[in-house]
Structure 1
Amino acid sequence: MDTYDTLEIGVANKIATITLNRPDVRNAFNETAIADLTMAFDEVSQDADVRAIVLAANGPAFCAGADLNWMKKMAGYSHEENEADALRLADMLRTIYFSPKPVVAKVQGDCYAGGMGLVAACDIVVAADGVNFCLSEVKLGLIPATISPYVIKAMGDQASRRYFLTAERFDAREAKRLGMAHEVVPAEELDATVAGIARALVNNSPNAVREAKKLVRDIAGLPIDDVLLADTAGRIAAIRASAEGREGVASFLEKRKPAWLE
């Protein structure tokens, strides 16, 4: 694995852990952090030995959004420079969202602004009880534009409308109720809970996990019509005939472990 200025990366038992490592600035984004995250997710997504990715953070906060020094610099940018800068953040979020590997966010501390975009781009979100979330952009005269596709997918239109407009803080249990988090656990149980989910992901067929992730992304929101029925029928037919599909069924019938667990 490559080394990065703003991240720590480790791989063990087919699980890659990418850890935000700027605790002195509450893991806020700057140009380097955005570039590092984009390259790191691209790297682990292409690693055949990695079957799941955990996004974690060091320090008391998960991510506070944009770094203040970076924001000061952006204040002097032209429209074109600001647009190019925002596109780099958008590309980072897209890289996470479209990773073929399942991504689990381990949210150990407060998550604000762009940090919520990071979390929303992940597939599974586990937060420690007591963590706070906030879409704080309008307090600064800004809007959560770049992160909005992912946050709205996670929270829905109604909740996004409220919290985009008010910039109110809400806690982890409210985040779970809204759909931003899947599980909320005591802080001391966070590591074990995330490890258990990651192990479950690794135990499943890598090809099926990849195709199931794509299935949700492709099908969500589509009308149930003949086109959709043909699409989904084609997908199950293809995966039944795939090597892992055949192996999974055969191992079940023969009461043995499938080859991907050996």
Structure 2
Amino acid sequence: MSVNLTISNKVATITLNRPQVHNAFDDITIIQLIDVITQACEQDVRALVLKSEGRHFSAGADLGWMKSMADNDFDDNFADSQQLAKLMHTLANCPMPTICQIQGAAFGGALGLIACCDIAFASPDAKFCLSEVKLGLIPAVISPYVIKAIGERQSRRYFLTAEIFKADKALELGLIHEISDELETSVNDAINNILNNSPKAVIAAKELIQDVANKEINQTLQDLTAERIASIRVSVEGQEGLSAFFEKRAPNWQQ
């Protein structure tokens, strides 16, 4: 398997396992990623971690696979690209929080995986590149997610120059959230923070971001947000969380 899935203590960990090609992904890896992400989303898990074996997070698309696709016609390439689009959509729409752990190189389509995750941690030696135009291509399928992460203005630079940038720049751009010398510790700390929170509230908060981001603040949006808070206040976990706070005890999801 190019991709491994493990579930422990309500945390799903998906690991890219092609270190011999710097965890580059081909059509088989993409299908496997879709399958394991879907499996994880159907389990009783509270968080999902995406990581890689070896020195590098991912070199993006496998060069051998891209070479073979260059010999195919438009219809075959379109169908192939739709699978990559499905992968990005599946990861971006996981109901539970998703955390990306990045070391070494993250090039091309790998930035799509990072941008689709809710939280991203990178090692100080991490390097990033939207390298597609160097190969006569464009970062088309990943573009909605990368542009949402770093903004249109910054995308105008990095989509067009294909320059390599370091972890500190990725942090400045908003592609990652933190640079850490202890990646596993930082990821585990984030997981523990998530596990201390109300499971249903975390899912609802993620849905809220997706439904509110970039929307015009009008009466419709005001009504939607008012309805969301009213509904969760009267929910079982909402009532438990408020009771626990006022009674100075741990809520039952921490027990």
TM-score calculated relative to the size of structure 2: 0.98
Give structure 1 regions of 4+ aligned residues with deviation exceeding 4 angstroms.
none
CA-CA distance at 1:8 after TM superposition: 1.9
Give 5+ residue unaligned stretches, structure 2: none
For residues 95 and 248 of structure 1, what CA distance do their matches in structure 2 show? Answer: 30
Letter in structure 2 aligned against 1:32: I
Matches within 5 A, 1:117-132: 117-132=112-127
Letter in structure 1 aligned against 2:243: A
Whether 1:116 and 2:111 are equivalent positions in the alignment is yes
Whether 1:55 and 2:78 are equivalent positions in the alignment is no
Q: Which of 159, 176, 190 is the matching residue for 2:154? A: 159
Letter in structure 2 aligned against 1:206: P
Please name the residue that 2:165 is paired with: 170
For residues 72 and 33 of structure 1, what CA distance do their matches in structure 2 show? Answer: 16
Please name the residue that 1:87 is paired with: 82
Please name the residue that 1:76 is paired with: 71
Matches within 5 A, 1:24-39: 24-39=20-35
| SS, match of residue 62 in structure 1 | coil
| SS, match of residue 61 in structure 1 | coil
CA-CA distance at 1:12 after TM superposition: 2.0
Whether 1:253 and 2:246 are equivalent positions in the alignment is yes
CA-CA distance at 1:76 after TM superposition: 1.2
For residues 204 and 254 of structure 2, what CA distance do their matches in structure 1 show? Answer: 18
Q: Which of 89, 92, 99 is the matching residue for 2:94? A: 99
Q: Which of 6, 12, 28 is the matching residue for 1:10? A: 6
User: For the Cα contact (< 8 Å) 1:15–1:202, is it kept in 2?
Assistant: no
| SS, match of residue 144 in structure 2 | helix
Letter in structure 2 aligned against 1:196: D
Whether 1:242 and 2:238 are equivalent positions in the alignment is no
For residues 21 and 170 of structure 2, what CA distance do their matches in structure 1 show? Answer: 24
Whether 1:226 and 2:219 are equivalent positions in the alignment is yes
Please name the residue that 1:191 is paired with: 184
Letter in structure 2 aligned against 1:19: T
| SS, match of residue 57 in structure 2 | strand
Matches within 5 A, 1:144-155: 144-155=139-150
For residues 232 and 19 of structure 2, what CA distance do their matches in structure 1 show? Answer: 43
User: For the Cα contact (< 8 Å) 2:46–2:97, is it kept in 1?
Assistant: yes
Please name the residue that 1:205 is paired with: 198
For residues 191 and 155 of structure 2, what CA distance do their matches in structure 1 show? Answer: 29
Q: Which of 150, 174, 180 is the matching residue for 1:179? A: 174
Letter in structure 2 aligned against 1:154: A
Whether 1:20 and 2:16 are equivalent positions in the alignment is yes
For residues 30 and 199 of structure 2, what CA distance do their matches in structure 1 show? Answer: 28
Q: Which of 38, 41, 44 is the matching residue for 1:42? A: 38
The Cα offsets for residues 22-74 of structure 1, whole Å up to 9 and x where unpaired, read as 000111111111011111111111111x1001101001110111111110111
Percent identity of the aligned residues?
Answer: 48
For residues 104 and 43 of structure 2, what CA distance do their matches in structure 1 show? Answer: 29
Deviation larger for 238-247 or 171-180: 238-247
TM-score calculated relative to the size of structure 1: 0.96
The Cα offsets for residues 157-194 of structure 1, whole Å up to 9 and x where unpaired, read as 011110000000000110000000100112xx111011
| SS, match of residue 8 in structure 1 | strand
Q: Which of 137, 141, 166 is the matching residue for 2:136? A: 141
Aligned length: 255
CA-CA distance at 1:78 after TM superposition: 1.1
